[in-house]
Amino acid sequence: MSAPVSVRIKPLSHYQGLTLPAYETPQSAGMDLRAAIPENEPVTIPPGEWRLIPVGIAIALPAGFEAQVRPRSGLAAKNGISCVNTPGTVDADYRGEIRCNLINHGKEDFVVKRGERIAQMIIAPVTQAIWEVATELDETQRGTGGFGSTGV
């Protein structure tokens, strides 16, 4: 495990009373994000549909890092709930509210309630590429085979 990185977090007004994202166990990779929706306004996600759920925080990542927003495995296994774009990337220069685009792959309506843990966030280093234009690429055993070419 690499050394911790300091990240500034700004809880927004509708986050009041909720617990800041935290690692649930000492070796957890992700921190749970909570739904920052009004107590009396749960959000229902019908099967096959998705909803953008606010989590009530904004962050300032240091240069060279991203935050990845991913589904929670328990919600996926028990209810078919995932994120539409997974992992979702929060860039180091984004300062707006983080929101989770949840999709219901299940067979029943899923109701999101205030404070519910709806996704997880992982802070990860980023490497940017520098393109080197080439007329040919080195040969490999796989070559140009893709989309299942290496077997089932």
Rounded to two decimals, the pTM is: 0.87
Output the pLDDT for position 7: 97
Distance CA 66, CA 124 (A): 5
Mean pLDDT, residues 75-101 taken together: 96
Task: For 107-147, write each residue's pLDDT tens digit.
Answer: 999 999 999 999 999 999 999 999 999 999 999 988 887 77
Parallel, antiparallel, or unpaired for β 88-90 and 117-125? unpaired
Distance CA 55, CA 21 (A): 10
In the predicted structure, residue 64 carries a pLDDT above the cut 80: yes
Instruction: Write a three-state SS string for 25-55.
Output: CCCCCCEEEECCCCCCCCEEECCCCEEEEEC
Q: What dotted CATH number matches 8-125?
A: 2.70.40.10
- How far is Cα 117 from Cα 103, in angstroms, rounded to an integer? 15
